[in-house]
Structure 1
Amino acid sequence: MSGTVHPDNKPLFIQIKEKIEDQIVNDQLLEGEQVPSTTQLSQFYKINHITVLKGINLLVDSGLIYKKRGVGMFVAEGAKEKLLQTRMSAFADDFVLPMVQEADKLGLSTDELFQIITQLKGSDPHES
């Protein structure tokens, strides 16, 4: 894990959960690979281990990681795909739907909207 947890509107345990999810999505933590321990994470981020454990437990509850008693925690099979599906659905609900609704209010056709998206995406220097 790189970086630090940042004070924002989200509780620290949610930030920890999201950082681990990001690492799974970005292939920094692969399926079947061991996740850093709560002790390692609490020392790295300089936060209480109970806070870290709360975030880890959310990942366990959602089936993204699992615990092997006495060994550690590991990324579950299918975790990346599950996260991608969840994020795509949230992306559609949180960003695409409001964009389409605004486009309708502006009288933009699907082709015009697609052209705007294509222009913006093409101008992104981070695009691969």
Structure 2
Amino acid sequence: MTVPLYKQIASLIEDSIVDGTLSIDQRVPSTNELAAFHRINPATARNGLTLLVEAGILYKKRGIGMFVSAQAPALIRERRDAAFAATYVAPLIDESIHLGFTRARIHALLDQVAESRGLYK
């Protein structure tokens, strides 16, 4: 499945908010800055920013630009938590049921994989 460019732009900005690169009330790159940097049509960049404004992630200051809203980090995490559960956890549980895994087996596998990736250092 190919994700439209404007949604990719929105996700990149969200990633920058979640990782702290962009902070609350900080100005985000303009439509033209995004278009030039990513070599895309300015309308595509504008659509990505508009998506974030409509979601309450960004707010506009007329004549100045768009800025990260105070509720942006919480809104992004809330939506991504729900998407994570639907995309990864539910299929994991479904497959576990098919394989006859117990809750303890699932936990053991999660711990094993997390440890192998250095999560428990």
Q: Same fold (TM over 0.5)?
A: yes
Distance (Å, rounded) in 2 between the aligned partners of 1:44 and 1:97: 37
Q: Is the CA contact 2:56–2:71 (under 8 Å) kept in the aligned structure 1?
A: no
Q: CA deviation at 1:31?
A: 1.1
1:70 paired residue number = 63
Aligned residues: 120
RMSD over aligned CA atoms reads 1.3
Q: 2:83 aligns with which of 81, 84, 90?
A: 90
Normalised to the residue count of structure 2, the TM-score between the two structures is 0.94
Q: 1:19 aligns with which of 8, 12, 25?
A: 12
**Which amino acid in structure 2 is aligned with residue 97 of structure 1?**
A
SS at match of 2:3: coil
Q: CA deviation at 1:94?
A: 1.1
Q: CA deviation at 1:112?
A: 0.6
**Which amino acid in structure 2 is aligned with residue 105 of structure 1?**
H
Give aligned-pair identity as a percent: 38
SS at match of 2:60: strand
The structure where helix makes up a greater share of residues is: 2
Distance (Å, rounded) in 2 between the aligned partners of 1:29 and 1:58: 17
**Which amino acid in structure 2 is aligned with residue 95 of structure 1?**
Y
2:45 paired residue number = 52
SS at match of 1:73: strand
Q: CA deviation at 1:46?
A: 1.1
SS at match of 1:117: helix
Normalised to the residue count of structure 1, the TM-score between the two structures is 0.89
**Which amino acid in structure 1 is aligned with residue 107 of structure 2?**
F
